Amino acid sequence: MLHLPKLIGHRGVKGLAPENTLASFKKAKELGFSWVEFDVMLTACGEAIVFHDPLLRRTTNGKGRVARKTYAELSKLDAGTWFNSEFVNEPIPTLQQTIQCLAQLGLQANIEIKPTRGTDIATAQKTLEIIHEYWPQQLAKPLISSFSQLSLATVYALDSSLPLAMLYNKLPRDWKKTAEAFNCVSINLNQKYVTLAQITQIKQTGRLVLAYTVNDSQRAELLLDWGVDAVFTDYPLPNFC
Residues near ligand G3P, by CB under 6 A: 10, 37, 39, 52, 112, 145, 167, 188, 212, 232
- 3-class DSSP state of 37: strand
Comparison of 47 and 112: residue with beta carbon closer to ligand G3P: 112
- 3-class DSSP state of 128: helix
Return the DSSP state at 113: E
132: annotated active-site residue: no
Which partner from the list Mg ion, ligand G3P, none does 188 bind, CB cut-off 5 to 8 Å by kind? ligand G3P
Which partner from the list ligand G3P, Mg ion, none does 175 bind, CB cut-off 5 to 8 Å by kind? none
> What does each C-alpha distance from 56 to 7, 10, 137 come to in angstroms?
28, 19, 33
Which partner from the list ligand G3P, Mg ion, none does 19 bind, CB cut-off 5 to 8 Å by kind? none
Q: By CB under 5 A, name the one of 112, 120, 229, 234 that touches Mg ion.
A: 112
| Catalytic option among 4, 7, 8, 10 | 10
Site for Mg ion in 16-45 (CB under 5 A): 39
CA distance 215 to 106: 24
Q: How far is the CB of 63 from Mg ion (least distance, A)?
A: 23
52: annotated active-site residue: yes
Estimate to the nearest angstrom the gap between the alpha carbon of 60 and the chain centroid: 19
| Catalytic option among 2, 5, 44, 52 | 52
Whether the ω angle into residue 81 lies within 30 degrees of 0, i.e. cis, is: no
CA distance 25 to 241: 16
Report whether 73 contacts 60 (CB < 8 A): no
What residues act catalytically? 10, 52
The residues of the shown chain that bind Mg ion, judged by CB under 5 A, are 39, 112
